Each structure stands twice: as structure tokens, then as C-alpha cells.
Amino acid sequence: MPLRSPGLLPPSFVPPYLLDRLAEHASAHARARAAQTLMIDRQQRGLREAVAGQGVSSGPAPSYVRRASPARAIHDAEHTMSLPGRLVRAEGQAATGDIAADEAYDYLGATYRLYHDIYERDSIDGAGLPLTGSVHYGNDYDNAFWNGRQMVFGDGDGEVMNRFTIAVDIIGHELTHGVIDHESGLVYQGQPGALNESICDVFGALVKQHLLKQTAQQADWLVGAGLFTGKVKARALRSMAEPGTAYDDPVLGKDPQPAHMKDFVATRQDNGGVHINSGIPNRAFHLAATAIQGPAWETAGRVWYDTVCDRRLRQDADFLAFAQLSVENAARRFGADSAAHKAVGAAWNTVGVTPS
């Protein structure tokens, strides 16, 4: 597992700039929860780097049973930060009646099924890694994250955010950080970090579409729909079809994502705008998938997966490097005269990453 650059905040679903905004503009309760979440996320940085430092490259790869099943284990952290917590549901066991635990179990399984059934990948590492999740983490914790070993879910503050198991694409997104760790290990900073976030949005969306059996045209292309409560003006955390339009609310502020390279945001916040500029490659994927039509996981999704696993994809790859490789992989998989090859190339042109 490639080691992340030291000092960078680890991947988590809700970006720090949004939590900063809540810590200043929300109600007293939501402000306190956002401030607490920011503190916990910073603490997780050191833990995440320690796990990355124990990566599989330092010795023989772990050996797991290839079983074509997720090997899930859901734990209850019982509102502490002690992980994994009390085991409440193991693989094959009946539902618990705890909606967060049962959603985590179901959606870990949905993510596993996409990667296994469509891309022939046996779990996150490709070698049958058991999927562990902990729910009810912290006190109304406003986030979810993959810590290098397991998934962790907060319950949300209940005013601005709901529980973080509510949307299958949140879980698909965070587990994909683990896939990237075991493949290219894109550095979580600047354009490589924005690619990292975008790829996670792509496969989070594909997990949802695969579960719902939706075509690219039927899908809503919203990431985290349902996460925000009805008290705020928000459709989701991000929109892949229309970056910058997911929310516009006095408490949340306005969605800052650009949809084109001409609006690329240069910032030192958010590890160099990893959750902001990811809107550009997100829109490229949406354009490619909808132009090809049909189930996106079978077309553009295969191209993106081939590119994530392409050994030529460097840790410091920028948007252009990923775009060029994806165009090559589209031609390799579907043919140089295929609709997929043309759609992928046109999509990157449309968002200004490659010259038209």
C-alpha cells in the first residue's frame, strides 16, 4: 500500500471546509458537533498514516480466503471512538433491527458485489480482505471514513446531517479509497488528490446504480443524496452531472465545485481542493457514461477501473495524465472506432482537460 504524503488530512466523506462552515454558522448543537468532528478528523490523520506505513509492500501480502462473499463484520462503537467496538452482525447473520448496522451490512455487500461481479475483484485488496464497519462512532459524529483497515460511520448531528449509512454511495465512495490505496496510491493532494476523490465518487455512484439496476440515463448522479436533513437546502453533497449545484443554503453556503478547468480552484484548503476540483473529472465521467448510454458500470466504469489499475498511472498523476490513459484504455477495451472511445475523449475535451 503506497504511503500518503505526511501531514495531509486523510480521506473522509464530508470535506473540512464544509465542517468549518458549520462550526461557524449552524445552531449551537450543530456547531459543537462540527467542531468535534474536525478535531477527530485531524486525530485520524496520524492513525491513518500509521496504517499506511504498515502497507503490504513491506512484506508478503496478507493471505485471505477467496470466497466470493464479502466476509462482513459490523460493530457498534457505542458512541465512543474505540474501534472496532462490539460485534453486532457477522457475515450471514440476520438483521439486527439497528438501521445503521443493517444499512452498513447491506451496503458493504453492495460495494463488494460491484467490484466482484463486474470487475472480478475479490474485495478491496483483490485478495478477499474482510470488510469491517463500525457504526455509532463518537457523539453525533458528522462524517464517515476508511481508516486503512475498516469503515467508520457517524450518526450525524440530526439537524444538518443524517446518519452516514443512509446512502449506499457514501460506503462505495469510502471503500474505493481502499482500492486506490492498493493500486495507484494517488497522493491525497492537489490534482492527484482530486482524482482520488473523483474516482471514489465514480465508483460510489456505480455501486448505487448497480444496486438499483439503473442505466446512466436513469441515474440521478447525486453523491450523498439523503445525507442532509430537510432543514437545509441541499439535494446531496455533490452533483456529478452539474458540479456546483448540489446545495445552496445559508448554513452550508454554496457548493464550490467547478465543472470546467477554466474555473479550477487554486487553494491551500482541503489538501489543495481535493473535494472541490474533483467536480471536473466527475463531470467528465458523467458525460462519457451518458453519451455511451446503458449501464455505466459496463462501459465508462470499465474504462475508469482499467485506468485505476493501470501500472502507468503514477501516484502524482494529474487530470491530463488520467485522461490520456483513460482514452487509451477505452480504445484497448472497446476499440478505437467504438462509441466508448469517442465518448471518453469528447468528455475530457468538454471539461477542458484535453484540447478540443
Q: Which residues are catalytic?
A: 174, 275
For 179-216, the DSSP string reads HHHHTT---SSHHHHHHHHHHHHHHHHHHHHHHHT--T
Looking at the DSSP bridge assignments, the partners of residue 73 are 90, 132
Residue whose entry in the numeric block shows the C-alpha cell 491513518: 48
Taking the C-alpha atoms of 167, 31, 79 and 159 in order, what is their torsion angle to the nearest 10 degrees?
-50
Q: For residues 324 and 328, what is the distance between their CA atoms, to the nearest angstrom?
A: 6
115 is written with which cell numbers?
467490484
Buried/exposed 331-355: b ≥16 CB within 10 Å, e otherwise: beebeeeeebbbbbbbbbebbbbbe
For the chain, the C-alpha Rg in angstroms (whole number) is: 19
Would you call 298 exposed, middle or buried from its count of C-beta atoms within 10 A (0-12, 13-18, 19+)?
Answer: middle
How far is 268 from 251, CA to CA, in rounded Å? Answer: 22
Between the alpha carbon of residue 176 and those of residues 181, 183, 267, the distances in Å are: 8, 10, 25
Longest pairwise C-alpha distance within the chain: 58
The residue type of 306 is: D
For the chain, the residue count is: 356
What nine digits make up the cell of 136? 455509532
CB under 8 A, 24+ apart: contacts of 233-238 = 237/13, 237/14, 237/18, 238/201, 238/278, 238/279, 238/282
